[in-house]
Structure 1
Amino acid sequence: MRVVVLGAMLTLAVGCLDGGTGLRDVGPVLKVTPDPIVFPGQTQAAGATRQVVLRNEGSARLVLLETPLLQASTGEFTWDGRLVPIDCRTGVERPGLASDRIDPGECLALEIAYRPVDTGPDEGSLLLHTNDRSSPKLQVPVRGDGVVPALTVCLPAGPCAEARRCARPGEAFEVTFPDLDLESDQRCALEVHNDGPGALASLEANVDGEEASSFELLPAAVPTRLEAGASIPLTVRFHPRVGGTNRALLRIGSDDPRGELLLDLFGRGDAPRLCPDPSHVDFGEVVVGEAAEASLTLRSCGLRPVAVEAWAMRDGNGVRESDAFSLETASHTPPFTLAPGEEAELVLSFVASRYGTVLGRFMVQSNDPAQRQMGVPLRAEAAFPPGCRLEPAAWTVSYGVVAPNETAERTVVLANVGDAPCTGLVAEIAGGEGRFRISQWPVDHFPFQMDPGDALSFRVAYHSDGRPDADVARLRLTGDIEAPVEVELVAWPDLSSGCHISIPTPIAEANPRSSCTDGTLLSRRQGTFGGVAVGATKVKRYEIHNVGPSACFIQRVRVQTDHATSPSERPYSLASPADRVLVDGIATSILPAGAVGTVEVRYRPGLAEPSCGLLEIVTDDGTEASECSDGTPGCRTIGLFGIGLDGEVLPAPEELDFGAVQVGCASTEATVSLYRSGVEPVQITALRVVPAGAFVFTSRPPLPAQLDPGAMMTLGLRYAPTGVGLDTATLEIETDPVVGVTPVMLYGQAVGSAARTEVYANGRSAAVDVLLVIDNSGSMSDDIARLQGSADRFMRRALELGLDFRVGLVTTDMFTAGQQGRLQSFPSGARWLDRTDPTPPATLSAALGSLPPGVGTERGIAAFMAALSEPLASTDNAGFRRPGAPLHIIVVSDEEDQSIETVDEAIEFLNNLPPDGTTLHAVVGPMACGTGEEARRMRYEALASATGGGIYDLCTDFGAVADALSEGIFGALGGYPLSQPAVAGSIRVYVDGQEVPAGAGAWSYDAAENRIVFDAGATPPPGATVVIEYDAACL
C-alpha cells in the first residue's frame, strides 16, 4: 500500500453576525465532491483522471494561504497544480475569477490523475486545511486499483470454422475462407472480448500483407476503448483480388501486456494467376563486354489454367525493346497454357555494353485478371573491367578570348580511376599548328606510368596569331591503354564583342523543397521534375539563349547530385552530351549569336524520397557573377528537384504555373487529375497545399476518397496572391496504402499592376503533325463510316489558316503484318496527307474507308509508341515527324486499350517526345451506342488528361467532335493565348513593332478561349514578333 498526502492551507475567517438580523453567520463551509476519490480498475496504459470540486456552502469567503503541496514517492497519483474557478451548476470554467479564494456558493476545481505502476491497490489522501470550523483539517481518501486487461478474439462456428475457436495474444490462430471466384465474397464474423478486470485501451485493428486488399474489415475502425467484460463484433470480408492463394495478417493491438493478437487470414481465388520466381531478376555485377545469365520461372499459381499470350524484353521503362537484356531459352513458346502448378523455365541474358546500372523489364501478357500485363523487373550493374582507366577532369578546356599576339595558359588534369597501373604513357599536342604547347610537364621522363589514384596536371599554353575563327587542338595520351585519351583545347579570337547567356527558367529564392539539400546545391533557378515512379525516367529540356552579338563557347555542362539525400544513388544525369548543347538537334560547344541551345537532364529516382541536384553551365560569358560554389567564371546554374514515388497515383499535370496575377485578384481555375494506374484501389487520405496561403482549392472530393484502378479524380485550384513576388508551393497527395507523397509543384507571380505584355518572339509555327490511331476492329465499321463523313469538318481550320499540316494513319492492330504501328498508305500511295494534296478532306475520307481489317485486341498505346520509336521512326515511318512541329495524337476506339505498356510508361513516352511533349486526344465510347454500356475508356482518357488533350464521346454527333478537334488542333495555331483573361477594350496588338488595329480582316479577341485570333489573311508570318498588351481582368 502507498500513501500520498496532498495539502492546502486555507485561512479561517472569524464568524460574525449576519447583517443585523440577529442570526449568527455559519462562516465558511467546505464541501468536497467526490469523497472519497476512487479510481476503480485502471490499466497502466489507459489511466484515468477525476475532477475534484471544492464548494463553499457557508456564508463567508474561503481564502487559500499557500500553494497546494503534492507529496508522492512513486507517482501513481498526480496533480498539475491548477485550481480553476468553475460554475458550480454547469462545471464551466469562469475566467477572470481568483483561484486562491472561494466566495459563498462558489466552486474551485482540480484534477487528479491516476496511472498505476503495477497491479494491486494504491492509496493516498487529499488533505485540505480550511476555515470550516466543523472540520478545519479535512482529509479526503484517494484510492486506486491497478489491473490488466485481457484481449480475446473468438471465431464462432460457421462458414470459416467448424467449431467455435478463441485465441489470445501469442497464440496461433488462422481464419480460412472457402474458395471464391473474383466476383464473389464471403464474410466471417469475429468477436473481440475483454476478459480482464481492466478496460482495454489503444484498441486498433488493421489488415497487413501483400494481399491485404483481398480482405476488408467491417467496420473499418474499432472503438479505441473496450470496458472490462465487454465485447464488440468484427467482420472480415474476403473478396479475392488474385487467383490462387490470398494471405494477409489481421493485427489487433491494445494495451494488453501480452502484446498484439495476430490472426492469419487465408483464402483462395478461383482464377488464373501467373507468379514469377524470382519476382525481381538481379544479374549482379557484370564487366563491360561480358555477358551473364539468370533463370526465371513462370508458375501457374492460381486455381485455373493460365494462358500466356505473349512476352517481350523491354528497357527499364517497359517501352522500347531492350538492347541489353534478351531471352536465351524457354521451355515454352507463346501462346501456351500452364495448368495449375505447372511451370515454364526461362533463361535470360544480359550483355554489359556500357558502364552503370542497367534496368529492364520482362513483359508478359496473360489471362491473369489481376495483372494482364506483368513486368518482371531486371537489374544489372555493368562494371569496368579490371585495368587502368584514364579520365580527364574536363573533356574540353577553353582558353576563352585571346587577343592577337597574346598568350594564355590552362591546366589539364588527368587521373587513373582504374584499379591497375597505366604504363608506357606518352603525351603530345595534336593539331593547332604549334600555337598550343605543353609549357609545364608533370613528369621528367618518357614513357611514364600512372598508378591507380594518380592525377597529373599538364600546363598548356596557347599563343594567338589573330586568326578569325576558333582554334582547336587536342592533348593526347597514348600508351599501353585500349584507346588514346584526348582532351579538346579551344581558344577564341578577340572580335571586340561578346556573348551573353540568358536562361529562361523560373527564378525563386531557393529550391521548392530545401529540406533535401545541405545548401551547396541551391540555385535561384528552379528545375522541377515533380513525382516520378522509382525506376522510371523523366527527361526535361532547358533552353540556353545567346542574346549577345557574338558566339558563346560552352566550356562545361555537368550535373551534380545531392549525395546527402541518396549516398548510393545518382538520380540526375545528362541525357544530352556532356560539355555540349544541342542546336537544331546537333551537339556543339559553339552557341552562335541569337541561337538557342538545349541541355537535356535525365531524372531516374532509385529511392522513394526527395532529391536535389544542380545543372552547371559554364561559358565564356563574363557579364554576370559566377553562380557556381567554386566561383568558376561564366557559370550559370539551374536547381533540380524531384521526388521518387513508390506508387502508382499519377498527377497530370505534374506542375502548374498560374502566371502573373495582380495582388488582390485571383487566377482562373486550373485542374489537376489524379489517375490510378495500379491494379488495386487506393484511398486518397489527404490533399494539402504546403505552404498554405496563395494557392487554394476550388473543388476537391470529400476525404477519404477511393481511387479505383484506371479511375481518375479531378481537383480544382486557384491562385490568389496577397503580396508582390514569386509564390511557390507543393500540392501534396497522400494515399492509403501509403505509397509516399505525390507532389504537384505550384507557381505563381504576384504583380502590383493589371497591365500585361505577352511576347511571341518568333511568331507561331504554321506546321503541325497529326497522328490518327484508328481502332479497325469489326465493331468499329459504323464509327469509321461516320469518321469519313466528318473528314471535311476536321480539315476545315487547317485549310482556312493555310497551315503546313501532316496527317498520318495507324491502326490499333499490333498483330497483323503491315500494321503494327506502320503508317497506312493514302490513295496516292503517300504515307501521310499534307497541303500539297489538291483535296485533303476527300483524300482523308478515302484513306479511312480503305483501312485494312484489324484484330479484336486493340492496342492503341503500343501502336503510337511503335510508330514514333525506332526502328519504324527511321524506316517505314521515316520523315513523318518534323523538328519543331507540335504533334497531336487522336485515338478513336470503342474498346479499352489492351497494350502491354502501362499508362505511366505511355505518359513518360509522350512527355519525352520533342518538342516538349505531345498532346493526345481520346474519342472513345462503347461497342454499341445506345445500349447503356459505360462509355469511359480510362487508359486513353488518362493520357488525354495528362497531356492536356480533349476527351470526346464516340456516340455523339461526330461532326461536332470533328469541329472541336479541328479548332483545338489547327485553330489554336491561328491564335495567341493570353496568360490571364483580358479586359476587352484594353487590348493592343503589335506585329514587328507596328500596331495592328482590331476588326474585320485583322484580329479579334476570343473571350471564351482567352486568345487573340487573326483572320486568315492577316496571320503574322513565321518569325514575326507579336506583342500583345492588355489589362488583366480581376477575378
Structure 2
Amino acid sequence: MRTGLRGGRIIGLSLLTALLACHEPGNTRSVQAQAAVDADTLDFGDVPVGQWREKQVRLRNVGYVPFHALNALGLEGDPSYEVSFDGEERVMPGEEKLVHVRFHPLSEGPVEETVHVLTDANSGREHTVRVRGQGVPLPIDISPPVLDFETLEVDSERTLRLTISNPVDLPLTVTLEGAAADAFSADTLTVPPLSTREVQAKYLPRSLGDMRAQVKVKACGNCTPTVAELAGRSVPSAFVFEPEPVPFESIPVHERTQSYTRARNITWRPVTIMGLSTSDKSFTPLKSMQRQEVKPGEAVEVPLEFAARFSGPNTGTLTLGYESDKARQSQVVLDASGGRPTLAVAPAALDFGELPVGGKVGKTIRISNGGTTGNLIFRGVRGGGSADHFSVDVPLRGKQAYPWKAGTAWPALGVDDITIAPGTDAIDLTVYFEPKAEGTWQGTLVLMSDDKFTPERTIALTGRARSTGPCVYELKPWPVLDFGNVTPGRGAVLGFSFRNPGRAECAVKDIHLSNDAGGVFYMPGGKLAGGVLPYDTAFSAMIAFRPQAPGEYQGELRLTVNDPANPTVTLPLRGVSQDSCLVAAPAFVDFGPIRYDCSVGRRRTLISNQCAAPIDVRDFQIGAGTSNQYALMTNMALPRTLAPGEGFELEFSYERNVLGQHFSPFFVYATNEPSPLLVPLLAETNHEGLQLDRFIQGTNSQLDVLFVVANTTTMDTYQARLKAAIPGWLERARQAGVDVRVGVTSTGLAARASACGGVTAGGEGGRLVPVDGSRSRAISSAATTAAETVQANIDDVGLCHNLVQGLETMRQALSSPLATSADDPRTPLPNDGNLGFLRSTARLAVVVLSDEDDHSGFDAESYVQFLQAIKGTGMAHRTQLYALVPTDNRCTTAGPPGPRFSTVAQRTNGAVGSICQGDYGSFLDKLLQRADRPQADFTLGATPNGMAEMSVRVAGVKLPADQWTYDPAHNAVVFQPAAVPTPGQTIEVRYRSACPAPPPAP
C-alpha cells in the first residue's frame, strides 16, 4: 500500500502538471530540457605527423530541467581523430559536459572529421561539429647531419654511426637513396615509437671516385623525409705522389743523379709501409722505409737515385707496398727521359762589349722549355749587381708582347704566367746595356719559372763604358718629316736618317715615337734600342702614316744621344688627311733593295684626276727626305689641266751610290687643294753582292679574280670558251676551300658610241659590269648562282669595240677612285664604282682574255710596278696577271702574238696560255693552285750567285737548311710543308746576288 501510494502521488503530480500545462502553455515550455554546444567547428591547424593535439566541445544545459548526454562519436571514422566523453551522464540545468576531441595525424595533408553529439534533451537533442587539421612534416633529429667516410681504398670498408631519435608514437622507416646508394648500407630499417636508435652505416666502394648517398627517415609513406648526407671517396691506393711522374735530370751515361717524391697518405686511417722496389735496376730507392707508419694526411719523402746505363730516355716504376685493411701497393712512374718541363736559356751569359757612356745596345736571350711533355710557366725576372746599368724589354713570342705586371719595376719584374710548350715554342727577351758612367759593370739577370728542379736561371751580364765627346749629328729630313696629304683610310711610308759627321762617336738610344697622334703615326719595324755610330756612318728607319679620318695630325720622333747638354733629339711629324682629286697608281714608287754596283731600271707612277671636274696640276717636286738619290726624269710644262679621268705618267731614277735605306716624299700640288698629294719614293742600296729580300705571308684560301675580257668584234668564240669554263672552275674552287670573289670588266677604255650601245658605249674604263648594277658585280663563289652570274657578266662585255687597252682598264679598275668608291665621281651614272671587290687579305689574280695584244700606250713595266705595289710593301708576291692571248699560229686571231700582256704576266710570276686552246679550265686552275694553301714559294728579287751564302729567316728566326730549298728554274725559295710560314709572318732571304741584265727597252 505504501509503495502504491507513492506511485499514486507521482501519477497525480504528473496529471496535475499536465492539467496545469493545458491551461498555461508558456509555463510548460519553460520547464523543457534544452542542450547546446559552444562551437560548430574545431580547427587544429598544423600538427606534425605522429604528434597529438586535443580540443574540447562544451555541451551545456541551457534549460530548466536536466537531460542526459547519451553519446559522442566521429561519423567518418578517420583514425587520425579520437572523440570521447565520460559516458552517459545527467546534465543539470546550468551545468556542462566536455566532449574530448584529439588530433593525431598519420599522414601529411588536410584531415577532416564530423563529431556527432547525442542527448535526450527536448531541444538540442543532436549536434554536429566540423573538425579539421593539417598534418605537416615531422622534424626528426639525425645526428650528425652529414656522415663523411673520407677517403679509403676501393674494396675496403669503413663503418660510422649516426643517431636517430623518434619523438612520436609511430614507427620511423629508414632508407638509403642516391646515385651511389649501392656503396652504402645501414643496419636499421625501423626506429620504434618514442625511442632513440644508433644506426651503423657502412661504406664499401667497389669502384673509384667521389660518391654520395642519403639516409632518409620518415614517419609515413607519403611523409617528407628528414635527410642525412653520406659522402665517401674511393681511390685505388692510399698514396699519391708529388711529383708524379718522378723527374730526373738528363745526365751523361755512367753518371748518377738523385731525385725524390713525396708519398702522401690520403686515406682516413694510418697505413704501414712494408717495402720499396723498382722495375728497373737503373733506379734505386735510397731508404728502405720498412714498417714505417704513415698517418692520415701525412707525407713521407722517398729519395731515389738514377744511374744512366744507356743513352736516351729511360722510364721505370716504383712500387710501394703497404698494409691497411690488407696488403696493398701504390705505384708511380719514374721518368729519367728529361722530358719534364725544364727552363732552358741561351746564351748563359751576355757580354755587351764596350760602349760610350750614354749609349745603349741590346742582346736577346731565348727562353724555352727543354722538356718534351708539359708546359713550362715563365713568371718573371729579377736583377742584381750593377742593375742600374742594365734593363730588359718586354718578353716576346714572335711579335706578340707580354707586358710586365702592373706595379712591378726593374730590377724585379713579374708577368702573368706565360706558358712555353716543348719543342720550337720560345720567348725572346731583349736585355739592354746602357751605361750611365765610365767603368766596367757586372750584373745578373735571374729568370724565374715553375721548373721543379731549377726554378731560377742566372745570366751573367757584363759591359764596359768609356767616356767620349758629345755627339755631333745630322738628322734628315729637317726640321720636320712632312707626309703632305694622304687620303683617309690609306697609308704611306717615309723615313728618317741619322748620320754622324763629327769626329767623336755618337751613342744613340731609345728611338721611338713620343707622340703617335693616337696611333696614326707608327714605326713599322717597332721602336729601336739604339747603337753606336762611328765617324761618317748613319742609320735609317721607316715611319708610317695611316689616318682613318680627315684632319691635320702632329706627331714626334724622339731619341737620346750622348750629349750631356742636349741629350734629347726630337723630329716633328706632320700629316694631313683629306679627300683629293689626284690619285697615284701605284701609290708609292719602290725601287726595292739594289746592289750599289748593279744598274737599276726607272720606276713610274700614273697621276690622274679622279673627280668629275677638271683640275689644274700647278707644281710637283721631290720634298725633303733622307737623301738626294732620286730624280724626276719626266719633263712637263706646268700648270697642266687634267680632265676627269685624264692622267700623266711620271718616271723616276735612283742613283744607288749611298748605302742604306732612302726615303723621299714626292709632292704633287693642285689648284684649290691646300695640301699636296704624297707619293713616297723608297729604295735601299746594299753592299756588293749582298741582297736582302723581305716578304710577308698573306692569308690563304682567299682569292679575288678580275677578268679583263676584250670586247672587240672578233671575241665571240673566246668569250664562249671562258663562259663554258666558269661553272667547273668555281666548283673546283669550292671543293678546294678557296673563297673566290669574281669581277668582270672589258678592255674598252673609252666609249665607241657609234658602234656600241648601252650606258657605257663599250667604254667601261675599268668599271665592273654590269655598270648599271642590274645584277651582282662582285660575285662570291659561295653564292648558289655564282656561275650563272659570272657568265651573264661576261656576256655584258659585248662584241663592239675596236681597241684593246686591257692593261690600262686593269689599272683603272684596281686603283682609286674605282677601287675605293661606291660611285665613280667622274661619270653621271650612279653607284658605278668597284668598292667591295678588292679584299685586303686576299690574293689577287688578273686574268686577261684577248685575241690581240694591248695598246694602252704606257710601258708594260709601268703595269708590272703597279701590280707589284697594289698589296703594299713586301707583298708583291700576292698579285699575278694571267694572260690568255695569241702565243702561236694554232688559230687565226685579230692580232699576232705580242709582248705586252705576256711580259706583265711573266714579270708578276703569273702564266701565259694560248687563247686558241679549246678548254680554259686547266689554265684557270693555276689560280687555285696558288690560293688554296699558305704560299710556300717566294720569288727572289735578284738572281743568287750560288747557294753558299743564302740564309732564310722567318719571324726573325733562322731556319735550318733542311726546311727550305732553292728552285733555280723559278728563282724562288720553296719551304718544306712543315715549315711554311703562317699568315702575317715576315720572311727574309739573304744571299749574294749577281747583277741582272739591263731591262729591255720600251
Give the TM-score, by structure 1 length.
0.30
Give TM-score, length-normalised by structure 2.
Answer: 0.31
